[in-house]
Amino acid sequence: MAWFRIIPFFLIFCTVSSWARPLLTTEEQQWLIDHPAITVGFHPSFPPLSFTRDGKPAGFLNEYFDLVAREAGLHIEWKHYPDWSSLLKSGQTGEVDVITAGVRTEERSQYFYFSHQVTKRFFRAFVKSRGTSTQPIDLSQGTFASPKSFFLTERLREDYPNLNVIETENLKQAFLMVASGEADYTITDQPVANYLTKQHDIRGVETAETVQSLLVYSRPLHILISRQHPELKSIISKAINQIPQDKVLALQQTWINYKNAIDLAPEERAWVESAPTIKVQVSQDYMPFDFLEEDTPQGYSIELMQLLARIVGLELEFVKGNTWQQSIEMVKEREIDVVHTISKSQEREKFLIFSEVYFEGSPLVLYSRGDKNYVSDISQLGEQRLAVESGSIQDIFLSENYPDLQFRPVSSIQDGINSVLKGESDYFLCEAIICDTFIYEGFISNIEVSGSLNLGALDHGLPLRIATRSDWPILASVLQKALNSLSPEDVALLRRNWLPSSRKIQTPDSRLTENEKRWLESNNRWVYTTASDAAPYSYESNEDELVGYSNDLRGHVEKYLGVESFYKPAKSWPEAVNMLKEGQVDFIPWMYVTTNRRDEFLFSETYHNDPMMLFTRRDFRFVSGLEDLRGNTIAMLRNSAISEQLQVDFPDLDIVYYSSLLDIITAVSDGRADGLIQSAALVEHVMQTSDVDNLKLASSTPYHYQQAFAVHPSKPELIPLINKALSELSDTEKSLMLQKWTNIHVVERRNWIAIFIWMLAVVLGASLLAGLVIYRSRRAAFIEVKESQVALSNAQRMAQLASWEWHASDDGMQWSEEGRHILNLMYGNRINRKGYVKLIHPDDRDEVANRWQRAMEDGVYQSEYRLLIDGNEKWVKDIAEMHTDKQGVVTGASGTTQDIDLQKNNELRIAQGAREFEELTGKLLSVQEEERRRVARELHDDLSQRLAALSIEAGTLEHNPNLESERERLSQLKQRLIQIATDVHGLSRRLHPSILDDLGLVDALRSEIESYELREHIKVHLHATAKLDNLSKDVQLTIFRVVQEALRNIAKYSEASQVQINLVKVNRELTLQVIDDGMGFDVDEALKSPGLGLQSMTERAKLIGGTIEIRSEENKGTTIELCTSVPS
């Protein structure tokens, strides 16, 4: 029976595992078998996006493709190319199968497929530092340096034919040319510029504003796949869809820092650079947007503010401990700079500047205990007590318009919930998402949604905005630009992290009334039409199926209400609108809401806000807005939402109407019209699926339109039904649903039943086979783990090496068995970091604490110190790595502690022995010099004088007439005595040069050299700096002895013809060089020989704190160099 219990779990495991990998067609699976490895090309001079580290690919783009390859089961053979031109050529010829990233162009489309967007880009212009000048640069003038074959290089050359373009091998060369003045500017992403200038120490380069907008060139990067492998393109697309978005965002945070990447005006950037710390309001319990958890600010809007601050480069300080009313008062007093969970009102606009909406709001509903009546209108409250958060929009609105209500002001969400639970209030008016989250997270029972006040717009929720103090308009502008720069992926991740998805928000509208149910029973078949070419919102796929965002919403409405709807095709958008007007269909699931259309149709609650953008041809002049197009031609759809308002706002525009979006885009592309105004998502999709590639996003427009279901006026019953169905979808679900269609993937139709049966057969077969080995495998694994633990414990014991973990949350430490032995801890006893520090020797604690503090900043800790264990000193060595959370706060550490007491004591004894040996050597040399000085003095003062007297006496005898016959012999005897006296004098000088004491080092050296040249017939050149008169006697004697020894060795071994001696003092550094042109020798072998010459030089140098370096090669001479520090 045990085997049958195992099989279901194994089936689940196999099924989940199969889902985790992209589902491949038979052809794709065969392609993987036929291609066990693919060649991937990349450009290594594009850090931090793409470069090499230790010979391996690194950077965001390369690590992103590595993620894709692991997901798809691809084996990669990496190949890097020195420049972008050769990399592109390798892809065109099929030398590589994939290029990790590139921009989509018409020419490249002939050779490559393009994946979905890998990353967005923010281009900035970089110029040579200009001091205080902030004049924007004109891209059409001057000299532009950029790598050859870069997309931007080609595009600027096309747009500005008179521009002088210098093609470089890489971006580093481009930046160096700008820094040196050889080029006027270059353009790249801000993170790339930051990395290059820091890595290569490129200075004198700064960012500059541009006359023309760089947004039109900031195209996203895609993976390029060779058109020789269509199966590989499909495999990679499926793998990309499988990668969790949080992994991609984590990679971006690791490699890409887009600080200063948004286009700020010079005065805005100057303000940011000098801005003080921005004080931001924090609420106590405004979940899931803004609340405190263990005194740490958390929530959607908190993380949003932190993200915006990182993008702009601002420092934030969160102000805690205040009620909402107190926070508003502090903003008025300028004690708080930013409020981030606030709705706009006329009163608040007097002291705040508001951003655009970042969260659409959540319905305002009533919460009560289960024994209270359900309320559907404010009139039903009567004498019931209503709790409202003090200072909120709803509080102000109700106080002004319904002063007779029984209000109970509360200071927070928690106070409002508690007032209901305690019976102090009958109902609490609260936003559904806020109170539902608070109730869910707090495990609060006996409280539920009990209706709404039916106050129209107030019931639908209060949109959230960021508000800035009114005297800082620049800060408001900067934050809005940062907010606009967020991608759909950024917003989706925020929503996924904080907003409820699996748990539905309670709303009273989620309940169908009996009348509505009865109406649906007799009206369960609806007819609709929609645009068939408005991707990603509504369009026909290659299989002639209607797909898109609005179609998914329509399907959800059908499923929720249990109805069927039938599609009635329309040839064009104007025809679809007319069909709804004439009552041929019941509704259109996607239409922009305008004032005129509200007079003709009924609309559901809006589900998406779509900004309208202005597009022109790439070769069209620069425009900053619609004002610059007066007198030009704009192409528009007939019956479009914007056309009527556009005629009113801009009567000088010449508007030409077309039947489809493709016709509009084609008209602008071939010059029949100068521009078009439309949703960026719609235009981008048409351009991707057509041959049009010469349009650019010119600017934004003041028009934003809400999307909603449009219903024929004869069917008003549909509106509340559709609203209730849409309310069942959370904002996160809607965002992900839209994201699905803004990243278009073409997928083949498959026989899913056959695939499932095939998978089930494979899984069953595999499970039977696995069942035969699972017990043995688990048993073997258990034994192996046990043996590994024993082996690890033995290894640690033999190496006297303990492992440990430290947790910052409670300061606790977990030690391995060897750690307990090192610390002499009883089994079961625990010790925290604070207790461990007390074991450290008092003399070492400060140093250990400093190293630990530095490790908190750079992440790595290493230290050697003494522990006091039971009164005995023990040397240990620590190595550890710090762990941090997403905000960079240290959460713990993993490390090892090794008992190095024996090793350290041996080192100390060796060091002590070395010190004693040096002291003994110094004493021996001092005794030797003293003895030499005594002998030299005896030779000079006694023997030399006596020999001189004998020579004088011999000279006297030479002139004695009685010794005429012996005159010649006496003369010879006199000369020999003179020679002996000279030799004794030379020997005395070599034993101790008295001239060193009398005339100084340089003259003593010159005297020694003159004697050496006469004796050895080797030419010696001396170069000495003038200021050597303040050297100590020990230094002078050491220099003299080293020169003596060096010259002696040269005469004895080198066969040199000349010698150069340099004695130079620079500041406090004294350097002696003795260089000969002799035959050279093996230094290592010479140091091993029993001779004492080289060793004595080394020991003498040590006595004055200096070092000796000897360099020699056969037939290339020898250099002896002594360096030491002396007083300045």
Amino acid 766: pLDDT: 66
Structure-model confidence comparison of residues 1024 and 486, the more confident one = 1024
Indicate whether 163 pLDDT > 70: yes
Provide the token pair at 659.
């039947």
Q: Which has the minimum average pLDDT: 214-223, 299-308, 848-857?
A: 214-223
Residues 525, 564: contact at Cβ < 8 Å?
yes
Name 325's Cβ contacts closer than 8 Å, sequence gap at least 6.
390, 391, 411
Amino acid 42: pLDDT: 93
| Per-residue pLDDT reduced to its tens digit, 75-126 | 999 998 988 889 999 999 999 999 999 888 878 888 999 987 788 777 888 9
Rg (CA), the chain: 44
| Per-residue pLDDT reduced to its tens digit, 1069-1114 | 899 999 999 998 888 887 776 556 777 788 888 888 899 999 998 8
Four-residue CA torsion sign, 1046, 1049, 1051, 1056: negative
CA atoms within 13 A on the CB side of 304: 32
Amino acid 428: pLDDT: 92
Amino acid 673: pLDDT: 94
Gap between the Cα atoms of 918 and 1102, Å rounded: 8
Q: Which has the minimum average pLDDT: 477-481, 690-694, 848-852, 973-977?
A: 973-977
Three-state secondary structure of 967-998: HHHHHHHHHHHHHHHHHHHHHHHHHCCHHHHH
Out of 419-423, 573-577, 671-675, 714-718, the most confident range is: 671-675
Amino acid 481: pLDDT: 87
Gap between the Cα atoms of 935 and 988, Å rounded: 7
Gap between the Cα atoms of 223 and 67, Å rounded: 13
Amino acid 199: pLDDT: 81
Amino acid 207: pLDDT: 84
Amino acid 936: pLDDT: 57
Amino acid 919: pLDDT: 64
Indicate whether 925 pLDDT > 80: no
**Cis, peptide link before residue 48, omega less than 30° from 0:** yes
Give the confidence band of 510 by pLDDT, cuts at 50, 70, 90.
Answer: very low
Gap between the Cα atoms of 584 and 577, Å rounded: 10
Could you give the angle at which helices 230-242 and 26-34 cross, rounded to 10 degrees?
A: 110
| Per-residue pLDDT reduced to its tens digit, 858-885 | 888 999 999 988 788 889 999 999 998 8
Give buried/exposed letters for 894-903 (b at 16+ CB in 10 A, else e): ebbbbbbbee
Indicate whether 765 pLDDT > 70: no
Structure-model confidence comparison of residues 63 and 647, the more confident one = 63
Structure-model confidence comparison of residues 83 and 968, the more confident one = 83
Residues 14, 225: contact at Cβ < 8 Å?
no
Q: Which has the minimum average pLDDT: 938-942, 960-964, 1032-1036?
A: 938-942
Amino acid 175: pLDDT: 93
Q: Which residue has the tokens 């502008």?
A: 477
Q: Which has the minimum average pLDDT: 649-653, 743-747, 779-783?
A: 743-747
Q: How far apart are the first and last CA of the chain?
A: 92
Give buried/exposed letters for 172-194 (b at 16+ CB in 10 A, else e): bbbbbbbbeeebbbbbbbbbbbb
**Cis, peptide link before residue 244, omega less than 30° from 0:** no
Indicate whether 328 pLDDT > 60: yes
- Taking alpha carbons only, the member of 837, 841, 874 closest to residue 852 is 837
Four-residue CA torsion sign, 89, 91, 96, 101: positive
**pLDDT, average across residues 435-446:** 74
Amino acid 12: pLDDT: 40
Gap between the Cα atoms of 532 and 541, Å rounded: 9
| β 564-567/525-528 pair status | parallel
Indicate whether 614 pLDDT > 60: yes
DSSP 21: S
Amino acid 503: pLDDT: 42
Provide the token pair at 149.
């074959």
DSSP-derived 3-state class of residue 920: helix
Rounded to the nearest integer, the mean pLDDT of the chain is: 81
Provide the token pair at 546.
């209607």
Gap between the Cα atoms of 939 and 990, Å rounded: 11
Gap between the Cα atoms of 12 and 770, Å rounded: 13
Q: Which has the minimum average pLDDT: 44-53, 60-69, 312-321, 495-504?
A: 495-504
Provide the token pair at 763.
């899984």
List the alpha helices (DSSP H) in 413-468.
Answer: 413-421, 432-441
Give buried/exposed letters for 574-611 (b at 16+ CB in 10 A, else e): bbbbebbeeeebbbbbbbbbbeebeeebbbbbbbbebe
Indicate whether 943 pLDDT > 80: no
| Per-residue pLDDT reduced to its tens digit, 564-581 | 888 888 888 889 999 999
Amino acid 656: pLDDT: 92
Q: In what order do the strands lie in the sheet with 338-342?
A: 316-319, 278-281, 338-342, 465-469, 352-354
Gap between the Cα atoms of 239 and 242, Å rounded: 5
Amino acid 744: pLDDT: 39
| Per-residue pLDDT reduced to its tens digit, 817-848 | 888 788 877 555 678 888 889 889 999 999 99
Provide the token pair at 960.
């004695």
Amino acid 4: pLDDT: 41
Gap between the Cα atoms of 1058 and 1051, Å rounded: 10
| Per-residue pLDDT reduced to its tens digit, 402-417 | 888 888 889 888 889 8
Strand partners, 495: none
Instruction: Please give the angle made by the CA atoms of 434, 436 and 440, to the nearest 5 degrees.
Output: 120
Strand partners, 892: 807, 883
| Per-residue pLDDT reduced to its tens digit, 255-290 | 875 554 566 788 888 898 889 999 999 988 888 888
- What percent of the chain shows pLDDT beyond 90? 22
Structure-model confidence comparison of residues 235 and 971, the more confident one = 235
Amino acid 514: pLDDT: 81
Residues 700, 614: contact at Cβ < 8 Å?
yes
Strand partners, 1076: 1059, 1118
Give the confidence band of 856 by pLDDT, cuts at 50, 70, 90.
Answer: confident
Amino acid 164: pLDDT: 93
- What percent of the chain shows pLDDT beyond 70? 82
Structure-model confidence comparison of residues 969 and 663, the more confident one = 663
